[in-house]
Chain A
Amino acid sequence: MKIPRTPWLLVVAAGFWAVVQLLRLVGFNDYYLFIANLSLVYVILAVSLNLINGIIGQFSLGHMGFAAVGAYVSGSITTLIYKLSPNVAAHYPGFVLALVAGGVAAALVGVAIGFPTLRLKGDYLAIVTLGFGEIIRTIFNNIDAVGGPRGLLGIPKFSTFTVILAFALITVAVIRNIAESAHGRNMIAIRENELAADLVGIDTTGYKVKVFALGAFFAGVGGGLYAHLLQIAHPTQFGFIYSVQVLIMVYAGGVGSLTGSVLAAFALTILTQVLKSFLSWLKAVTDLPIGGDWYMVVYALLLILIMLYRTEGLMGTREAKLMVIPEEDEK
């Protein structure tokens, strides 16, 4: 008889959910919950960027551009429904559809950007994706219908802990399942040696465009959740510096390790918050000319240290046991 494999990913997610619910009863305040939510949003962004940068090895620097598309599209939809009828509970199915719509829009933008740019390699691709990320942001900055430089305001707070966790779980599971399939192996082969991949019959360009679209889709969903967590979609939230922040998570965790991206998303989101409050406190007591935003300096330093002392990041390309699907004959 076949014994079904324990869905460890689901177990861990459920465990995390339960722990947070319990902690809520004993003084886990809204600020801590916000950090947990933000971490999960970054899990979605980092894992989806890792699919592009780590699994198939294309250096993209415009991930927040895709998140912006998702945020603005889903935000516009939900704001509209919310205006028509402000009964929040009734809107969850609509919210989920809006998030998916945001993801699909981001994926379409990903394909549109991917076709011309994915012929480029390494540094060139990085510069072009960086440029496109900024272009997307600037476009939103100039569309009055979504608030222009004021941002899209009044987005309903639909991103609850449970919803974000569910989407983070789906993102990780989907990308893990793809990575551990024939398609995923083909992607890794492209990363390892593109010419050789081409010469064993792999349609390298086709895969790159698909992965770009898929990564953009999840970034779009992440961006949508982000907007419905902060209740605003603002051009500055999706600036280049935040794309770099997600990139640092991927590199700190280990390029190609989804486990690493998840861990780094949590660690660095928490670190950011700690640093922000520490720096604000330092400014208050010492009168030094520093602000909360100086945490970016620490980020930059961290990136330099990773590149100097631990290029492979926390995990390298290794995965935690629960992220690995054993082959049938190895059970």
Chain B
Amino acid sequence: MSAVLKVSGMSHWFGGLKAVSNFDFEVPEGAIYGLIGPNGSGKTTTFNLITGIYKPTEGKIEFSGGDITGAKPYRIVRKGVARTFQNLRIFGSMSVLDNVRVARQYKPVSTLLASTLRLPSFKAEERQRKAEALRLLDVLHLADRAKEQAKNLPYGELRRLEIARALATEPKLLLLDEPAAGMNPKEVQDLMALIARVRDEFKVTVFLIEHHMKFVMGLCERIKVLDFGETIAEGKPEAVAKDPRVLEAYLGKKGGH
């Protein structure tokens, strides 16, 4: 299988702190790929570098064969990389439906003039995109919430809304930043099934960060483990789980956290 995302020699400093150190990895197309590691090991920074929020100090990021290093975030999204956020970033005062519609129509075909004049082409576009957004909400079990103000949704549903919104941009690669954070065991189970289903149904590659071990081990096909900005293990979940360096990072030698 070819790699949809290829990162080579990527490093990033925040002032004197090296948050990400010389990363090399490939995310195979169609996989569910996991990035794990203790707090502060550079996971979210990696996502921010891939999505263009930060520019890497060194190294190269290739997506679907094209170089996206240092490109503007919205351009990277338009190429097919979508993400969710660890600390939810929803459009709170908008309806659940509109949250998804915005992502579905980040660049409306209808011009400002056509929208002002309410031309038939504008109405047709609005209708079609709305239907598509509703279908997405249906897949993420949020259809009955469509008209509610997004900020009124409970936490678990907001996490799903972020996934729906990311999918609305029609990505090839979906980055999920701690999708299971704050969920109860039942919700985590459902989410695992949902992510697997989303991967198959939307033909996306999933690249996720997670702390929840059961979640990662049960869902991911490949895992990369970080500690202090460096890769300490990479491979299939079963192999990674037995790696002594991983056990040390997580359980600690001196009885750390």
Contacts and interface: CB of A to CB of B under 8 A. Distances in A.
Interface in A177-213: 177-178, 181-186, 188-189, 192-193, 195-204, 210
A188 B115 contact: no
B100 to A, nearest CB: 9
Interface stretch (B60-68, B102-110, B215-223, B247-255): B102-110
Given A198-B73, A201-B78, A202-B102, A192 B94 contact: yes
Interface string B100-132: 011101111010100111100011011101100
A192 B77 contact: no
Interface stretch (B5-13, B31-39, B85-93, B195-203): B85-93
Contacts of A195: 53, 73, 89
B186 to A, nearest CB: 28
Contacts of A177: 115-118
A200 B112 contact: no
A171 B172 CA distance: 41
A236 interface: no
B169 A178 contact: no
Given A181-B122, A196-B85, A200-B169, A189 B102 contact: yes
Contact of A203 (B51, B107, B129, B130): B107
B91 A196 contact: yes
A182 B83 contact: no
B137 interface: no
B105 A185 contact: yes
Contact of B94 (A183, A188, A202, A203): A188
Given A183-B112, A185-B98, A196 B105 contact: no
Given A177-B116, A178-B116, A203-B74, A189 B125 contact: no
B160 interface: no
B88 to A, nearest CB: 9
A197 B101 CA distance: 12
Given A188-B91, A189-B91, A200-B82, A327 B130 contact: yes
Contacts of B102: 182, 185-186, 189, 197, 200, 202
Contacts, number: 107
B206 interface: no
Contacts of B108: 181-183, 186
A171 B122 CA distance: 20
Q: Most chain-A Cβ atoms within 10 A of its Cβ — which of B89, B125, B165? A: B89
- Chain A facing B: main interface SS: helix
Interface residues of B, number: 41
B240 interface: no
Contacts of B83: 199
A177 B111 CA distance: 12
Contacts of A231: none
A188 B93 CA distance: 9
Nearest to B91: A192
B246 interface: no
B89 A183 contact: no
Interface string A163-182: 00000000000100110011
Interface string A199-240: 111111000001000100000000000000000000000000
Q: Most chain-A Cβ atoms within 10 A of its Cβ — which of B51, B116, B118, B130? A: B116
Nearest to B92: A192
A202 B82 CA distance: 12
A287 interface: no
A188 B90 CA distance: 12
B204 interface: no
Contact of A182 (B73, B93, B105): B105
B168 interface: yes
A328 interface: yes
B140 to A, nearest CB: 15
Contacts of A188: 91, 93-94, 98
8 closest Cβ pairs, A-B complex:
A201-B106, A181-B115, A196-B89, A200-B103, A182-B108, A201-B77, A192-B91, A182-B105
